[in-house]
Structure 1
Amino acid sequence: MAVSADGVSVGAVQGAGAPVRSEPERRTRREVARVLLASAAVALAPVVTASRPARPADVQPDTGTPFDETYRGRRIQGAPLPLQGLSALGAEWQVTVDGRPLHLMRRADGTWLSMVDHYSWYETPLEATRAAVDELGPLRRLRDLAPGPFGGGHPHGEAQHGVRA
């Protein structure tokens, strides 16, 4: 414990020894940028939300209607396969582009993607098929698939001899 010049004892006080500033604290450029960015994000959130197309939650896009049309000079056809096994959710479709099969897959959120354009997803099988045609362009064609659900047997059902790399 210390004693001051006038004889009063001065003990340890919380915060004692901290420098006292008479000027307000100055913020760094980084702190100012964070505050401005956060303010802009809060101000723009309602604008972004309002700009999204409104779709009632109880109205789902029609994914069960077969199609047969010419799109960008290509004949696209598609129809849902009969319900069997896990396809009770309507997750199986037979789709062709110029007579060649295009595999579509249904995502967990109900949207669709194709083997050609598998980085984007679409509301209906028709939209996914049109996007695949857009991705193929006028010169490329779909390759024939290996044996599978479009008329061939399962490739592992036959006896395999030897090692294949």
Structure 2
Amino acid sequence: MSLKETITQLVEKHLPDESHFVVEVSIVTSGAKKHIKVLIDGDQGVSISTCALVSRALGNQLEEGSFIEEAYVLEVSSPGLDFPLSNLRQYKKNIGRNLKVLLKDGQEVEGKLLSVSEESILLLTKKKEKGKKAVEVETSIVFDQINKTIVLVSFK
């Protein structure tokens, strides 16, 4: 098992409950140090105290188990608003919010996320026709077509 898989399993053991999940574990070596970045999220969001608890528990377990011999930096946080959605739970958590979806063919689609299935998402988008008022239409996008999705923040 790779170090990344080991860390992912350790993090999953220290999550407070089933509503929390691992988004990403990345390990980058720069110079003599490894930088371990763990992103966790929750169906209702994740608090700073949860990140701190997971960080302490993971750090202790990494030290006790001697999983990493060299010096390392451990960072446990939640994905920021600009972090792309990467799994089904994140999409479901953002139903009702506006998204920007970048497709693999280079197109960009913006709209309100209405629903999520195992295969696709359904957005309410605005379609403009020449000389007419914009009309709202439902647009289904298959996950295979998606390159990147980010949540649009509204300050209205």
TM-score (norm 1): 0.22
Higher-Rg structure is 1
* Higher RCO structure (Cα 8 Å, ≥6 apart): 2
Higher strand share: 2
TM-score of the superposed pair, with normalisation by structure 2: 0.23
